[in-house]
Structure 1
Amino acid sequence: MDQYKEMREVKQQTETVLALIEEALKKLNSASNWGLYDILGGGMISSIIKRNRMKDSNQLLHEIEAALRKLQAEYGDIELFLPEKFYFDFSTEFFDVWFDNIFTDLSVQSNLKRTKKQLEALQEQIFELDQAVAEALSN
Structure 2
Amino acid sequence: MKDKNTEIREAIDAGNRALKALEEAARHLQAARGLGLWDMLGGGFLSSLLKHSKMDDAQRAMDRAEQELRAFGRELADVQMYADIQLRFDSFTRFFDTFCDNFFVDWMVQSQILQAQDRVEEARQRVWEAVQQLQFLQGA
**Normalised TM-score (structure 2):** 0.90
2:84 alignment partner AA: L
Segments of 5+ residues of structure 2 without an aligned counterpart are none
Whole-Å separation in 2 of the counterparts to 1:81 and 1:16: 14
Give the match for residue 79 of structure 1.
83
Bigger mean CA offset, 61-70 vs 13-22:
61-70
Deviations 1:63-108 (A, max 9, x none): 11111111111112423232323414xxx42331233211110000
1:10 alignment partner AA: A
2:138 alignment partner AA: L
Verify: 1:19 aligned to 2:23, yes or no. no
SS of equivalent residue, structure 1 residue 119: helix
**Normalised TM-score (structure 1):** 0.91
Alignment of 1:1-139 (within 5 A): 1-76=2-77, 77-88=81-92, 92-139=93-140
- Alignment RMSD, CA only? 1.3
* Residues matched between the structures, number: 136
Query: How far is 1:13 from its partner?
Result: 0.5
SS of equivalent residue, structure 2 residue 83: coil
The percent of aligned pairs where both chains have the same amino acid is 30
Whole-Å separation in 2 of the counterparts to 1:136 and 1:53: 39
Whole-Å separation in 2 of the counterparts to 1:37 and 1:31: 10
